[in-house]
């Protein structure tokens, strides 16, 4: 009897232990599943965060690259601007050009230099002096060459005696060195445009070859354009031939000397700013 009671107690205890272990196992198994699920979610979130971080790092690298590029550009502009100075608040010139201008101005007539009130006036004087020297070095006479500059437009008026005989549109051979030098200036700058204008005095002309002063002024312009194109390889699309007849005189046609002044060919050079300063 006593043995039976002991055996029954052992069996009951065993069942109780067995029952508790199974419940605990189920609970642990549930916790494991939940932990695995949370881990999977965490891993997914981690992967997403890493992907976002990579995108952010790539964007930061791109921004840094742009910033460095902008800094380089800014440094280049700063370096360039440090070598520039303002003219009349609009145009700019390099320090090198300014140095050349000062050197040239030492050779300019002091009476002309006295009339230069602004830096732009000084630049115009220097460029005008250089162009005049180049032309006269090619056989011209300084008294027969007038150079005017309006901003960056250079206007060179050449007496007809340097280019033509009276009443003719055939170019003198002595004018060829001068025209050759002009062709070199024109050919040196692709963006340069040039207009050739013929001007006469007020005396009428009528010959088998020339109908009137309009005809003479235009043919003088086309003769020069033709020589620049055919002999000195100036691109024809850069040139304009024009005739003004006697209707834009420099002075009254009331004397022999005045009429000689009005008989001229005007060469108008229209360069860009860099080419303008290169004339220094």
Confidence of residue 3 (pLDDT cuts 50, 70, 90): low
Q: Please give the pLDDT value at position 136.
A: 65
| Residue 184, token pair as written in the block | 């070199």
For the ranges 3-12, 65-74, 101-110, 244-253, the lowest mean pLDDT is seen at 3-12
Q: Please give the pLDDT value at position 58.
A: 86
Strand order in the sheet with 264-270: 145-150, 153-159, 264-270, 193-199, 239-243
pLDDT (average), residues 80-98: 56
**Does the pLDDT of residue 154 top 50, yes or no?**
yes
Q: State the pairing for strand pair 239-243/193-199.
A: parallel
Whole-model pTM? 0.59
| Complete DSSP assignment for 111-163 | HHHTT--SHHHHHHHHHHHHHHHHHHHTT--GGGEEEEEETTEEEEEEEHHHH
Please state, in angstroms and rounded to a whole number, the distance separating the CA atoms of residues 116 and 122. 6
Regarding predicted confidence, which is higher, 110 or 90? Answer: 110
In eight-state DSSP terms, residue 209 is S
For the ranges 67-71, 79-83, 151-155, 199-203, the lowest mean pLDDT is seen at 79-83
Task: Give the tens place of pLDDT for each residue, 205-221.
Answer: 988 989 999 999 999 99
Task: Give the tens place of pLDDT for each residue, 106-129.
Answer: 777 777 777 777 777 777 777 777
Q: Compute the mean pLDDT over every residue in the chain, rounded to the nearest whole number.
A: 79
Please state, in angstroms and rounded to a whole number, the distance separating the CA atoms of residues 167 and 261. 15
């Amino acid at each position: 009897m006593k043995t039976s009671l002991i055996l029954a107690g052992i069996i009951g205890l065993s069942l109780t232990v067995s029952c508790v272990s199974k419940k605990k196992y189920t609970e642990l198994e549930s916790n494991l599943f939940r932990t695995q699920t949370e881990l999977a979610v965490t891993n997914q979130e981690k992967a997403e965060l890493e992907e976002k971080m990579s995108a952010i790092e790539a964007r930061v690298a791109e921004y840094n690259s742009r910033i460095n590029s902008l800094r380089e550009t800014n440094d280049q502009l700063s370096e360039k601007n440090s070598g520039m100075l303002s003219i009349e608040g609009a145009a700019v010139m390099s320090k090198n050009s300014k140095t050349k201008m000062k050197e040239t101005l030492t050779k300019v007539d002091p009476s002309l230099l006295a009339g230069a009130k602004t830096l732009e006036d000084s630049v115009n004087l220097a460029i005008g002096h250089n162009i005049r020297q180049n032309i006269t070095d090619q056989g011209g006479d300084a008294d027969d060459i007038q150079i005017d500059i309006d901003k960056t437009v250079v206007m060179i008026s050449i007496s007809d005696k340097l280019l033509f005989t009276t009443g003719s549109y055939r170019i003198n051979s002595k004018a060829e060195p001068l025209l050759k030098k002009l062709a070199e200036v024109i050919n040196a700058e692709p963006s340069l445009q040039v207009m050739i204008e013929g001007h006469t005095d007020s005396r009428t002309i009528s010959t088998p070859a020339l109908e009137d002063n309009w005809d003479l002024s235009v043919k003088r312009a086309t003769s020069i354009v033709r020589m620049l194109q055919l002999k000195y390889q100036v691109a024809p699309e850069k040139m304009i031939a024009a005739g003004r007849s006697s209707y834009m005189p420099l002075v009254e046609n009331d004397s022999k000397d005045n009429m000689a002044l009005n008989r001229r060919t005007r060469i108008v050079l229209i360069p860009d700013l860099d080419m303008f300063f290169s004339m220094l």
